[in-house]
Amino acid sequence: MRCLKLTIEYDGTDFVGWQSQLNGRAVQDEVIRALHQVLREDVTLIGAGRTDSGVHARGQVAGFRTENVIAPGKLFNALNGLLPEDVRVHAVEEVPVTFHARFDARQRRYSYRISLKPTALDRRTSWFVKFPLDARLMKAAAEQVLGKHDFGAFCKHEAEVENRVCTVVLSRWTPEGDRLVYDVAADRFVHGMVRVLVGTMVGIGRGFTPISSLAGIMASHDRSAAGEAAPARGLCLEEVLYT
């Protein structure tokens, strides 16, 4: 028995998310289908994170066990020849058979892109905000997110998790021409956390939410205290780090 680790990129626009679901096309299903064609065996594919409908990934990680002796390089070429154009494998690596893509992850990094002007080319991967934003206030707000906090105020209502404490090690806004890019990394994320953080900080950047209220929002653990969730299309899972 071997364990193989895949690093996967996908455009999430036309997917219901990473996780297999009954109500639509899932990235996980596409990869499993291609693996079955190559390996001629059923595999259990475990992803590092369950990205939502419309969310993209540049560095999603998934692992599976197999008895097939195929070389990683050969599997890499075969998968990219079978997968649809909106899914690509960047790497195939053999790892210890005990590897678990989700539970062994020590850090995940996401980015969120905001376009400050209408765009045709980036419309599927960024949120166009037509109102002026104060990037200085948004940068200051991002700094307050750093550290260990209970992010219950930024978690979707339907998320069935009791522990909402995350340690954020990177949180910053960077101007890039006509775009603002938010980079955030943490040991874990609760469901919807990045999109609600972005939506709340956009409210601060527009002047709707005083930056002085952010600490109170975080301390409230109340989802209704935070802002609206930003659209899924601007969010991308950039990388998953392991020890």
Average per-residue pLDDT for the chain? 96
DSSP the chain: -EEEEEEEEE-GGGSSBSS--TTS--HHHHHHHHHHHHHSS----EES--PBTT-EEEEEEEEEEE-----HHHHHHHHHHHS-TTEEEEEEEEE-TT--TTTTEEEEEEEEEEESS--STTTTTSEE--S---HHHHHHHHHHH-EEEE-GGGS-TT---S--EEEEEEEEEEEETTEEEEEEEES---TTHHHHHHHHHHHHHHTSS-GGGHHHHHHHT-GGGS-PPPPGGGEEEEEEEE-
Q: Tokens at residue 229, please?
A: 């969730």
pLDDT over threshold 70, residue 158: no
pLDDT (mean) for 195-212: 97
pLDDT (mean) for 53-59: 98
Closest CA to 63 of 28, 39, 87: 28
pLDDT over threshold 70, residue 114: yes
Report the amino acid identity of residue 86. D
Q: Which residues pair with 152 in a beta bridge?
A: none
pLDDT of residue 162: 78
pLDDT of residue 153: 95
C-alpha distance across the termini of the chain, in Å: 22
Residue 52 catalytic? yes
pLDDT of residue 161: 74
**Catalytic option among 52, 104, 122, 150:** 52
For 174, list phi and psi in degrees, rounded to 5: -130, 125
pLDDT of residue 22: 87
pLDDT of residue 111: 98
pLDDT-based confidence at residue 41 (cuts at 50, 70, 90): very high
pLDDT of residue 160: 63
pLDDT (mean) for 72-101: 98
- What is the set of domains in the chain, with CATH numbers? 2-95 (3.30.70.580), 106-242 (3.30.70.660)
pLDDT over threshold 90, residue 29: yes
pLDDT of residue 130: 95
Q: By percentage, how much of the chain surpasses pLDDT 90?
A: 95
pLDDT (mean) for 132-156: 96
pLDDT of residue 23: 87
pLDDT (mean) for 148-170: 88
pTM of the prediction? 0.95
pLDDT (mean) for 155-175: 87
